[in-house]
Amino acid sequence: MIRRDLLAGCWAPYLERAVTLKPCYDGGIDGGEVAAKILQDTAMGKKRSKLNISGARRLQDAIILGFQLQRAPGRDLSVPEWYQVTGDETGTPLIDQTQKSSKFVEGFEILHGDHHGLIDTVSFLDSLATLAKIGGHHQEREHLAAAALFNWEEDIVVARAPGRLDVMGGIADYSGSLVLLMPTREACHAAVQRNHPSKQKLWKHAEARHHSRDTPILEIVSFGSELSNRGPTFDMDLSDFMEEDGKPISYDKAYHYFSKDPSQKWAAYVAGTILVLMREMNVRFEDSISILVSSTVPEGKGVSSSASVEVATMSAIAAAHGLEISPRDVALLCQKVENYVVGAPCGVMDQMASACGEANKLLAMICQPAEILGLVEIPSHVRFWGIDSGIRHSVGGSDYGSVRIGAFIGNTMIRYFASSETNAGEAEEESSELIEYDASLDYLCNLSPHRFQALYASKLPQVITGEEFIGKYGDHGDSVTTIDRKGTYHIMAPTKHPIYENFRVQAFKALLTATPSEEQVIGLGELMYQISETSTENGEVEALQNRERDTLWGQDYRRW
């Protein structure tokens, strides 16, 4: 039973199902003792599963279940990073290479588009075909829910969106930096189907909640929920996205709507795409919508798992409803999902890489807000890898938000300093135009390193309190973050980093296209090391990056 139904008293369909099971149980009924016995038996191998799972995996299952049972109310706990499920254990199907160019996948005919020979896409289509044949014998809740999600005789739209590897630019995207991004092999798939409300298949608990079959319903299933401490299903009336006057609800209301239940908050990444389309493109959804999301992009690793979910979902919804949206606009709309519905203050580079990137190439983009310069070929003697440090990453985390606020505060101060100098008439004639430009500086990265160092570095404080800044300067000019009056923010480092970062990325891009040589590779590596070093000056980020290095290379790294 999902928590929302438990608290709302919507128990009838669950109790009816329980009665049909005709349980015969003569064991203990003390929940704690029963759970402990199951954990112990599972770890020792006495409680056998139908799946052929190794002893080490059984022990992991026992530990992780115990970890989740201890979860304190209102506290977000992440599944330990060592808990991974391999393809063999999840039964991921291996595809026949001869199917790569076929318009047919067992159980389906591809009516429009192509799977482009992508193994993961063909595997996802195969999994859909398997779901269509699932009966009540299947024990995993998410698979049972997915099997009952679609009308298998009707069209289903599938979209794929990869994660992204941040090669250069990273945390400076919201300051307008040039960034170099590479799509990952891992990707998210979203399957979407629209149906008239009267023909929409409803789960029993959803049917009990929705008394009218004329109301459009949204039903979502997310695969992999057991590994991420979230509920596998979500459903809502699409009318919940509408005010009484027929207008879409505000983003703030949507944020609080999805924040009520931590185990259901993940649905904001998926359902939020619908609200953004309603608000930004005036789209009205009169049909019910079913969505299945399946992703292999690692979560919490800084490779844009959330952006891939948003882009795949919005692309599939747009295609299912006949909406023609350019990849760039899809990315910008998905950024609004993450900024305003999810509440994570990310820049736009993640969504742009997922929507516009190409395999084995770097996407060069100036984040002002999202101007693509083109694709950069990766030389044959250069390879990029992402290494998992084991430290969990979250764009919605307080560290990321504090650094972003610090950068926007620094930008506001620079404009103030430049305006004061212009108004006082102190600027020399030849530099007055540049000072006037600085007074209206829209992005930090439009300020060159030498001008920053010469004119403004000495005037910026290392830190400032929220109360002090608001009292003197007012607003910091960022709509997706809020200054805490009682908080203290680093200013100098978050302001300086993107200005120098932008210059280093420009140098990296130029060097990448230079004549192949040992000096070229050394230079590329040096620029990457410099970025790693200067980003640790950003106060809150320093401790995080030091933990990552200690995990990867040991504590002696800082003495190298």
> Pairing between strand 217-222 and 288-295?
parallel
For the record, the structure tokens of 212 come out as 């009218």
DSSP 50: S
Are the C-beta atoms of residues 289 and 317 closer than 8 Å to each other? yes
Q: Mind listing the pLDDT tens digit of every residue in the chain (560 residues)? A: 776 777 777 888 888 877 777 666 666 777 778 778 887 787 777 766 555 666 665 565 555 555 545 444 444 445 444 444 443 333 333 344 445 445 656 666 777 777 777 889 989 998 898 887 765 555 678 888 898 899 988 999 999 999 999 999 988 999 999 999 999 999 999 999 999 998 888 887 777 776 667 789 999 999 987 777 778 899 999 999 999 999 999 999 999 999 988 878 999 999 999 999 999 999 999 999 999 999 999 988 889 999 999 999 999 999 999 999 999 999 999 999 999 999 998 889 999 999 999 998 999 999 998 999 999 999 999 999 888 877 765 655 557 889 999 999 999 999 999 998 876 665 565 577 888 889 999 999 999 999 999 999 999 999 999 999 999 999 999 988 999 999 999 999 999 999 999 999 999 999 999 999 999 999 999 999 988 776 656 544 454 455 544 544 455 544 33
The correct CATH number of 141-165+186-357 out of 1.20.1080.10, 3.30.230.10, 1.20.1250.20, 3.90.226.10 is 3.30.230.10
User: What 3-state DSSP class applies to 221?
Assistant: strand
Gap between the Cα atoms of 408 and 195, Å rounded: 45
Measured CA angle at 330 (ends 110, 189), to 5 deg: 40
How far does the chain reach from its first CA to its final CA, in angstroms? 54
Q: How far is CA 82 from CA 57, 85, 212, 390, in A?
A: 11, 10, 45, 8
Please tell me whether the peptide bond between 369 and the residue prior to it is cis, using omega within 30 degrees of 0. Answer: yes
Using CB atoms within 10 Å of the CB of residue 336, give its burial: 0 to 12 exposed, 13 to 18 middle, 19+ buried: buried
> Pairing between strand 217-222 and 178-195?
unpaired
Are 141-165+186-357 and 398-559 in the same CATH fold?
A: no
Domain boundaries, the chain: 3-70, 141-165+186-357, 398-559
Nearest to 313 by CA among 294, 300, 332: 294
Tell me the sheet residues that pair with 179.
Answer: 365
Tell me the sheet residues that pair with 189.
Answer: 160, 294
Per-residue buried b or exposed e for 487-497, using 16+ beta carbons within 10 Å of the residue's own CB? eebbbbbbbbb
DSSP 23: -
- Cβ neighbours of residue 79 closer than 8 Å, sequence gap 6 or more: 64, 67, 68, 227, 228, 229
- Domain 398-559 in this protein, CATH class: mainly alpha
Which stretches within 137-295 are classed as H helix?
141-147, 204-209, 251-259, 267-281
Gap between the Cα atoms of 370 and 348, Å rounded: 7
User: What 3-state DSSP class applies to 390?
Assistant: coil
Using CB atoms within 10 Å of the CB of residue 137, give its burial: 0 to 12 exposed, 13 to 18 middle, 19+ buried: exposed
Gap between the Cα atoms of 190 and 156, Å rounded: 10
Are the C-beta atoms of residues 495 and 405 closer than 8 Å to each other? no
Amino acid at position 149, single letter: L
Are the C-beta atoms of residues 270 and 293 closer than 8 Å to each other? yes
**Positions marked active-site:** 350
Using CB atoms within 10 Å of the CB of residue 214, give its burial: 0 to 12 exposed, 13 to 18 middle, 19+ buried: exposed
